[in-house]
Structure 1
Amino acid sequence: MSHIENAPHPPAVFRILDLFAGPGGLDVAADVLGHQVTGIEWDKDACATRSAAGMDTFYGDVRKYSAANFPHAQVLTGGPPCQTFTVAGHGAGRRALDDVLRYIERLHAAVSMDEAEWGDISRIWREISTGLEERAAEAKKIKDEKLEVEARRSVQRKAIKKSLQERGSSQEEIKGILKALRSSRELDPEGPDLKSLKHLIEDYSALGTRLNDIKARLEELGDERTGLVLQPLWWVIERSRRPGLKPYEAVVLEQVPAVMPVWEKYAEVLATLGYRTRTQLMFTEAFGVPQTRKRAVLMARLGETDIPEVAETHKRYRPWAVPTGSSAATGQANTLPWGTEEENLHGTPKEAWVSMETALKKARGIAPRLPDRPAFTVVSNYGTGGDPGVRGQRDHDVPSATVTGKVSRNRLVHKGTDTDLPDEFGRFTPAEAGVLQTFPVAYPWSGNDQSQQIGNAVPPRLALHVLRHVLEPELTDEEARARLEQAVADLESWKPGEPVKVREYGQWEGHPLTGR
């Protein structure tokens, strides 16, 4: 029988291994639920944050480790890098997705064979891994070549600009010629204005042709990170099929919506390995996160207990449904056309979505040093509707747009104007950006590129819902609500303990998951 199926009251403590752990979004959620978490992370800045937060961490590439290194882990979680699939359906992204699905099918065929031997299964994995490593090595060579050509092209461009300046061309003329060169438009090097630059222009154009060829070769090879999305599946297979190891009792994986076809293929393999599974597209604001963000989640549990859908606790944000003159801050008016969304799966009324101002005001109650701004509008660093000049906007009394690694570049202006707030109020601080991701306001962001760490993280409040749902199926609806309410309160007031030292590969001694 599974440990999960026999979990006592209070809920059992699980030992969780988190792959691609980032700064600790899932980890801090697991921590407030009372579980023990170890993360593997290859970004040194994220490791610095994890260390300051007291999150147990192994530094390095997940591919260097294996499931056998951590035989006492009971639950596997993770969110492999998603850049490969963010353009799925078009060009390289679609091909990368198709490649991964084919690899999963090969692994599924291997574990489905009657009396499949571990040696046969591991051979298939080695063939896949070797092929991916060879492609990654080839891609690195081509990227080095690309950098060299780009550098030479930059030198040529500067030489053309200098020659045009020396011959007295106007700034407008120079700008037009350089723009044409950048866009690879045809220029007649024999023309009266450019004849003296013939060789420079021909060399520049030839380098441009070579650069396009290099880009095409890189696209054909695919992103070297493609194989990372296969790692969690292989770890589950290894724990399930390798002699001497026991299967994980539960698996939780999350990523951008484009990865959902991968999770659905995963679910087929996990079913063969004895797991009950559920894939779900989750809207973060529907779980109390003050931000609109969609995540594709795979949940799996060993044994015969089904996994129902995770019930939404809050209403979804629908900006186009807000009637003129209504108050968006109530979170009510924008859901009136969707009466079926007023209650969750258990018939309990949903709460209003949480606005930026509501979340930041609560955080100021814990950390008064946070800026206390007047009504504001966030002007995104990104273009919208395909127009880079049109910036998306969200007012303070609605949920934030998706928090990305560029969150620190968003402008904050007085609501209803294009007038910037004073400098001390004009950008979100790391603590505030973290709060919009539902990190505790006291989370100790450390290292460089903190905005990127925050943008890449799993929203802890979403992780609370998923982990509780998968790891505590025995709770009644009433018990689950009480458990989540307490966990949310504990998350908001969480404070870091003593910093911990980050381990590296091979530093197994004394670690509870390694048994050494």
Structure 2
Amino acid sequence: MSHVETQQPSPAKFRILDLFAGPGGLDVAAHVLGHEVTGIEWDAGACATRAKAGMDTFQGDVRRYRAAFFPHAQVLTGGPPCQTFTVAGHGAGRRALDDVLRYIDRLHTAVRNTAGHPDPLSAWTQVFRTWRQIHEELRRKEVEARAVKAEKRAVELSRTEKRKAMRNRLEELGSSPEEAKLLLKQLKVPQSLAFRDAELAGLFKEFGDLAGTLEKLKVRLEELGDERTGLVLQPLWWVIERSRRPGATAYEAVVLEQVPAVMRVWEEYAAVFDTLGYRTRTQFLHTEAFGVPQTRRRAVLMARLDGSSRDPLPQVEETHELYHRGASRTRPKADHTDALPLDDTGNENRRPRKKPAKWISMEAALKDAQEFSGGQVRLRPPFTVVSNYGTGGVPEARGRRDHDTPSATITGKVSRNRVVHQGTDTDLDDELDRFNNAEAGVLQTFPAAYPWDGNDVSQQIGNAVPPRLALHVLRHVLEPDLGEREVEDRLEEGIKKLVAWKPERTVKLLKHRGLEGHPLTGR
């Protein structure tokens, strides 16, 4: 991999295993900090990007691997694909959250009940048995869910065929296409037609019966839960396995991140990690408060193995201001406090403590990245980004952000956002009316030269961890003993390297056969 040369070596070098690694947001951040990363990722498009970026990758389902396969990994990271959890109401999201929390509690109970057991092998057997029971329950649910989904698809196909037959019959009986469409929308055949035509009445009845069957199948699928439940549990089990399996060495640190709705899961994870001897911290992070030119909120769980202290880990300190709509967009002059902080030796630092910097705008981020983009990042006149999404529950009320503000959250639909002349609805000319992959990646703080590849690149970018956010979190967890001045220098160095990063080589994707001789496997 290609990096900017630096005079300061990394304070420590860790071997990181990244589950659900995506296109490499955390990986590229770890690399510029000087760490080695191996990712596991199943999506073919994300793996194609990783290969071109030179990111060491095992392609496949995380569930086909085990923590024991990678005994030399010192740090575990990841962002498991999570279903939408919601604590409100009694819908599928609430049930999914309850299921996950119930499984975590079962694992936590097994860990607690075997703590301090005089026979480590017997204790491990009990914990592993609990996991196998959970794994088998989830497997049976997935098998049944696949069968129910197949039946649901067959019913939906039958409904489509019945609807077509109903429309044809209505038109044969004299209804206009518009009248037929309205009757089908109401799903109610006029009595005059029903009495006159038994075939039409039968079609409407069959269609209604299929609708009832379909509703029952949907309810059953909700009861069975989401197949991602098992994926959500994987990082927890990998940490338990490395902590409790005889002969294994516990991970030195763990970093997990996901959407805000997953925070309740991370809190329960943290309780288990506490039992296993980790210091932990859960925290909501606003991306723009860490120099990401985008407003986005993430739920992060951080853990560090430390038998000498049970105090929580400190919070990750924000470096930039939060963005508030309508706030001043003028970047202020550098503003410092009067006091000079002490360094680790008790002497005054020569550099004053800085107040948080202004958030970074889209325009500033794109301009800074342009020289490293090979022409992929383009200059624009003052612009407004019109979101593909509505606001306030109104689809037509598209969200808008001007060039001199942070972007709205970058999602998998980023390529559909329109870029118009500021204050108008007139698209920019010369194909500047859409962000290309390099530009969308920059707004997610990927290097401008990141080699996006494979299918659905927009989705890859939208799902990725913002590398600049990952840089802050990894530095915080893996380098806890740096002084304040060292932290500032370390982040400044890492950000410069991240912006200027370029791929050095393409690597081959690994499968199970690649475990043999891999640096993390010890085989």
* TM-score, reference length from structure 1: 0.90
Alpha-carbon shift at residue 165 of structure 1 (Å): 4.0
For 1:454, the equivalent position in structure 2 comes to: 461
Change in 2 beyond 3 A, CA 1:439/1:108: same
Once residues 459 and 9 of structure 1 are traced to their aligned partners in structure 2, the CA distance between those partners, rounded to angstroms, is 24
AA partner of residue 497 (structure 1): E
1:315 aligned to 2:318? no
Alpha-carbon shift at residue 83 of structure 1 (Å): 2.4
AA partner of residue 190 (structure 1): Q
Once residues 489 and 93 of structure 1 are traced to their aligned partners in structure 2, the CA distance between those partners, rounded to angstroms, is 41
Change in 2 beyond 3 A, CA 1:448/1:285: same
8 Å contact from structure 2 (residues 77, 256) kept in 1:
yes
For 1:40, the equivalent position in structure 2 comes to: 40
Superposed CA offset, 1:351-387 (max 9, x none):
1111111111122232234332222221211222112
Change in 2 beyond 3 A, CA 1:191/1:315: farther
AA partner of residue 61 (structure 1): D
Once residues 312 and 257 of structure 1 are traced to their aligned partners in structure 2, the CA distance between those partners, rounded to angstroms, is 18
For 2:270, the equivalent position in structure 1 comes to: 267
Superposed CA offset, 1:306-334 (max 9, x none):
52100000011111x43xxxxx532669x
For 2:439, the equivalent position in structure 1 comes to: 432
1:102 aligned to 2:102? yes
AA partner of residue 468 (structure 1): R
For 1:201, the equivalent position in structure 2 comes to: 204
User: Residues 238-317 of structure 1 correspond to what in structure 2 (within 5 A)?
Assistant: 238-303=241-306, 304=308, 306-317=312-323
Alpha-carbon shift at residue 405 of structure 1 (Å): 0.8
Equivalent residue of 2:251, what SS? coil
Change in 2 beyond 3 A, CA 1:433/1:369: closer
8 Å contact from structure 2 (residues 377, 448) kept in 1:
no
Once residues 492 and 71 of structure 1 are traced to their aligned partners in structure 2, the CA distance between those partners, rounded to angstroms, is 33
For 2:186, the equivalent position in structure 1 comes to: 180
For 2:68, the equivalent position in structure 1 comes to: 68
8 Å contact from structure 1 (residues 26, 463) kept in 2:
yes
AA partner of residue 294 (structure 2): Q
Change in 2 beyond 3 A, CA 1:189/1:224: farther
AA partner of residue 237 (structure 2): W
Q: Give the number of equivalent residue pairs.
A: 485
Select the residue among 358, 363, 366 that pairs with 1:360. 366
Once residues 9 and 314 of structure 2 are traced to their aligned partners in structure 1, the CA distance between those partners, rounded to angstroms, is 21
Q: CA RMSD in A?
A: 1.9
Change in 2 beyond 3 A, CA 1:10/1:461: closer
The share of aligned pairs that are identical, in percent, is: 64
User: Residues 39-438 of structure 1 correspond to what in structure 2 (within 5 A)?
Assistant: 39-85=39-85, 87-90=86-89, 91-113=91-113, 114-116=115-117, 117-181=123-187, 187-192=188-193, 196=197, 197-303=200-306, 304=308, 306-319=312-325, 321-322=326-327, 328-330=328-330, 348-367=354-373, 368-422=375-429, 424-438=431-445
Alpha-carbon shift at residue 63 of structure 1 (Å): 0.8
Once residues 163 and 332 of structure 2 are traced to their aligned partners in structure 1, the CA distance between those partners, rounded to angstroms, is 57
Once residues 144 and 289 of structure 1 are traced to their aligned partners in structure 2, the CA distance between those partners, rounded to angstroms, is 43
8 Å contact from structure 2 (residues 112, 275) kept in 1:
yes
Equivalent residue of 1:259, what SS? helix
8 Å contact from structure 1 (residues 287, 314) kept in 2:
yes
Unpaired segments ≥5 residues, structure 2: 1-7, 118-122, 334-351
Once residues 179 and 397 of structure 2 are traced to their aligned partners in structure 1, the CA distance between those partners, rounded to angstroms, is 28
Once residues 492 and 166 of structure 1 are traced to their aligned partners in structure 2, the CA distance between those partners, rounded to angstroms, is 66
1:31 aligned to 2:31? yes
Once residues 438 and 245 of structure 1 are traced to their aligned partners in structure 2, the CA distance between those partners, rounded to angstroms, is 36
Unpaired segments ≥5 residues, structure 1: 1-7, 182-186, 323-327, 334-345
Equivalent residue of 1:421, what SS? coil
AA partner of residue 24 (structure 2): G
Once residues 332 and 292 of structure 1 are traced to their aligned partners in structure 2, the CA distance between those partners, rounded to angstroms, is 20
AA partner of residue 156 (structure 1): K
Alpha-carbon shift at residue 144 of structure 1 (Å): 0.6
* TM-score, reference length from structure 2: 0.89
Equivalent residue of 1:289, what SS? coil
AA partner of residue 434 (structure 2): R
